[in-house]
Amino acid sequence: MTFSVGILPLVIGGLFNMALGALWYSNVLFAKPWMEESGATDEQISDTTDMGKVYGLTLLMAVVTSYVIGFIVTNLDLVNIGQSVLLAIIIWLGADLPMIIKNWGFEQRTLKLGFINHSYQLVVYLVVATLFTLF
């Protein structure tokens, strides 16, 4: 087992994760339905202090996500995009779909909110796994 992963897909994956998040939660895509479903207001969002800390930790977690996916791709020796897509879907089904259901059941979050949040993760998993397979 190896713990080293390719640095280029790691960096690109982390940056892609951040860029997709900015787009996903913007007015271009899902800002309005996300705000409706989460109950967030413009005032609450703009009133957030420590945004540097929030973005810094978010970037760190984006890199961690890329590293974990790269670790799995590397150690499973995935060599084609079909295998990467299957891996991403399996990770999403095992890690994210249960969170959607748990948050719906125990936290009274809507399924729509869960799918807005976690379909973003599915896209990240798909792209990052593919990056590690190609590089």
DSSP code at position 30:
T
Q: pLDDT tens digits for 82-118?
A: 999 999 999 999 999 999 999 999 999 999 999 999 9
- For residue 15, give every residue at least 6 positions away whose Cβ sits within 8 Å of its Cβ, in sequence order, or none: 62
pLDDT band at 129 (very low <50, low <70, confident <90, very high): very high
What does the pLDDT read at residue 84? 97
Residue predicted with more confidence, 97 or 43: 97
Asked if 20 contacts 66 with a C-beta cutoff of 8 angstroms, the reply is no
Q: pLDDT tens digits for 47-65?
A: 777 888 989 999 999 999 9
Report the distance separating Cα 32 and Cα 25, nearest Å.
8
In order of 25, 68, 80, 128, 134, the CA distances from 76 in angstroms are 33, 12, 12, 15, 14
Asked if 22 contacts 62 with a C-beta cutoff of 8 angstroms, the reply is no
